[in-house]
Amino acid sequence: MNRFMRTSFLAILALIIGSASAQANQGRVAWVMNFDGDWNVAGGLPEKAMLISLQGLANRDAPRLYIVHPPDFQWEITGPVFEFYQRKHHVDFTDVATADDALTLFKQYAKGYVVWDKTVGASLNVAFTIAGLEDAVVVSADLIALVEQHGLTPIDDLRGRYTDMSDAEIYQDAYDRYWDRCIKDAVMLMGGHRGRVMQPAMADWGIQRKMFFHDLSANPIHPVELALTKRLYEEMEPGSTVFGWHPYGKDTEEQATTLLSGYGFKMEGLHNLPNLSFNSQFTFTEGFKFTNNHNVERNAVLQAEEKVYICFVQSDSIGIGVWTKPGRGLLPFGWQVTMNWSRYSPAALEYFHESATPNDYFIGGLSGPGYMYPNHIPADRFPLLMEEANDLMTLLDERVLEIMDNSAADGNVGNTDLTKETVDLYYENFPDVIGFLNGYGPSRTRDLRDTRPMISYDYYIDPKRPREAVTNDLNELIKLNAKRPYFLLVHVRESNDVNSLVEVTKNLNGPVEIVPVDVFLKLAASNKTYTTRYQDPDEPKHFEGY
């Protein structure tokens, strides 16, 4: 097809896009682009940033553009969910091959363009903010000619505006110019990768919803940035959500999450979580009801034998890591579901549900209705947040809540314990769960009240640790914890694979049984061979926060 015919064809398609948006979920048309893995600022990033901004605008009032990422992208499920949309929602996708084609199809949703400065990374975030407010596509200088060919005109140009300015100064300027017009129940912490590689795949969502974009640090070594972050949070609505992820190299996940938890906010990441502007506009398919693979009745009473009971859980948010790796289904496995996806990505949750094997069991998390550190949630916000979490767990047919507070930890090691006050609050606010899991790295908060145990991870499987060493570690725990039954809860870090764990389990010593999460908790309620323990104020805390 020559260029004229191709452009004409795409233009006709563009005319029908508007009418397509009025269609119901079932049987709609949409478009799909396939991204490669090049996110280099000097390579593929500028075009991707433009397309993602266009996606946010095109999807503002209807799901029109979906992006499929390569299988090795951190969110490995874009392909399977794309297939799910076709099969279950009967979405008829048309491929969009190039950025030029995408502009032909979707330029009608943009009023112009904003230019970011490739030499100032933060300017991309400011441009995203402007894109949401002004309906602009985001371009670098070398893409101006392309968008102008499609009749788009300049709305703003950030080249030179932020030269030699610090991030704090840049975002203060953006705050002064744009913050008042941005929504106040959500903000886009567009951090993550910085420098030569950036992955702002979640920007479509922030643009669609007119969020303020930034990558301010929560690290006290950046006091001006920290102060501005606090100012944003103080001016946001109660119960707000921080989308995105903390900026690598400026602060830590622990610092950023501790800070937002202190405001009673929820974190929803990562910065490269794609397609929320598309996914959020679908509901579960008609008649679908989320039903978990419960292995025991809620009120069942089990009796543990003199055995070692092992339970595997992956808690790095379902959708990254183990789910699509070989071997899933060979072992009973617990999967922490990011419960908010029932609002933002119902199709993804439904996909997980339909592709679950009988050995896959879903649990709620993380700590509440989003990722947050409960030791820092204000007491007056806790019941409201946990009511939200309870509702989500009911919707998702989940009976186990996973908790994680890394505010005093150092990555996946260190102090991940809950204070007694926090434990009290969980027992009070979750009367219907069958139990709680706690930790990320190993932890030692444990309790049993009525029939609801709270068990912490005794082991964290580092995906890089040789399997022989993992086997020896587990055998050592089994030897040290000599009372039977022994309840050994294992956190399987994302990017492990189940096949390798099958080999590990074959080489464990003693009367070992691998059980699903719900069975594990019921058994742990029957014979408390573990101590009751909470965070000890005397224990060291690795905390470099404010």
Partner 1 sequence: MKNTPFRKIALGVLVTLWCTVSASANPEIAGKWQLDIPRSSPLSGWQDMALVIAVDGTEVEFTHQMRWRRTNYRATNVVDTSKTVTSDAFFRVEQRHMAVYPTKGGLSHTTAEWIDADRTLRTETQTMVEISQGDVPMRITSEYRIGEGAETLTWIALRSSRDRPLVYVFRKVKEKDSE
Which residues bind to partner 1, rule: CB under 8 A? 410-414, 441-444, 446, 456-462, 465-466, 469, 472-473, 475-477, 479-483, 486-487, 529-531, 536, 538-539, 542
User: Is 130 or 474 the residue whose CB approaches partner 1 more closely?
Assistant: 474
Closest approach of partner 1 to the CB of residue 430, in Å: 22
User: Is 7 or 412 the residue whose CB approaches partner 1 more closely?
Assistant: 412
Residue that is written with structure tokens 């030897």 in the block? 479
In order, the DSSP letters of 47-65 are HHHHHHHHHHHHTSSS--E
User: Is 186 or 517 the residue whose CB approaches partner 1 more closely?
Assistant: 517
Nearest by Cα to 416 from 405, 425, 426: 405
Closest approach of partner 1 to the CB of residue 319, in Å: 24
Closest approach of partner 1 to the CB of residue 474, in Å: 9
User: Is 431 or 537 the residue whose CB approaches partner 1 more closely?
Assistant: 537
Q: Report whether 390 contacts 432 (CB < 8 A).
A: yes
Closest approach of partner 1 to the CB of residue 464, in Å: 8
Three-class secondary structure of residue 40 per DSSP: strand
Closest approach of partner 1 to the CB of residue 440, in Å: 11
Please tell me whether the peptide bond between 369 and the residue prior to it is cis, using omega within 30 degrees of 0.
Answer: no
> Parallel, antiparallel, or unpaired for β 213-214 and 112-115?
unpaired
104: tokens are 């032909």
Closest approach of partner 1 to the CB of residue 114, in Å: 36
Measured in whole angstroms, the distance separating CA 100 from the mean position of its chain's CA atoms is 31
> Parallel, antiparallel, or unpaired for β 459-461 and 452-456?
unpaired
Contacts of 438 by beta carbon, 8 Å cutoff, 6+ apart:
402, 403, 404, 416, 417, 418, 445, 454, 455, 456, 457
Closest approach of partner 1 to the CB of residue 479, in Å: 5
As a whole number of angstroms, the distance between CA 133 and CA 367 comes to 33
Contacts of 421 by beta carbon, 8 Å cutoff, 6+ apart:
none
Closest approach of partner 1 to the CB of residue 310, in Å: 13
Closest approach of partner 1 to the CB of residue 49, in Å: 30
User: Is 88 or 491 the residue whose CB approaches partner 1 more closely?
Assistant: 491
User: Is 289 or 464 the residue whose CB approaches partner 1 more closely?
Assistant: 464
In order, the DSSP letters of 380-397 are TTHHHHHHHHHHHHHHTT
* DSSP H or E run through 243: strand 241-247
- What is the amino acid identity at position 314? Q
Nearest by Cα to 343 from 472, 241, 212: 241
In order, the DSSP letters of 348-369 are HHHHHHHH--TTEEEEEESBSS
* DSSP H or E run through 79: helix 78-88
Closest approach of partner 1 to the CB of residue 41, in Å: 25
Closest approach of partner 1 to the CB of residue 536, in Å: 7
* DSSP H or E run through 512: strand 512-514
Closest approach of partner 1 to the CB of residue 486, in Å: 7
User: Is 102 or 461 the residue whose CB approaches partner 1 more closely?
Assistant: 461
Phi, psi of 158 (to 5 degrees): -90, 0
As a whole number of angstroms, the distance between CA 192 and CA 249 comes to 9
In order, the DSSP letters of 311-361 are EEEE-S-TTSSSTTSTTTTSS-EEEEEETTHHHH-HHHHHHHHHH--TTEE
As a whole number of angstroms, the distance between CA 343 and CA 369 comes to 11
User: Is 215 or 473 the residue whose CB approaches partner 1 more closely?
Assistant: 473
Q: Report whether 347 contacts 85 (CB < 8 A).
A: yes
Closest approach of partner 1 to the CB of residue 462, in Å: 6
User: Is 177 or 449 the residue whose CB approaches partner 1 more closely?
Assistant: 449
User: Is 56 or 192 the residue whose CB approaches partner 1 more closely?
Assistant: 192
User: Is 499 or 507 the residue whose CB approaches partner 1 more closely?
Assistant: 507
User: Is 271 or 446 the residue whose CB approaches partner 1 more closely?
Assistant: 446
User: Is 318 or 489 the residue whose CB approaches partner 1 more closely?
Assistant: 489
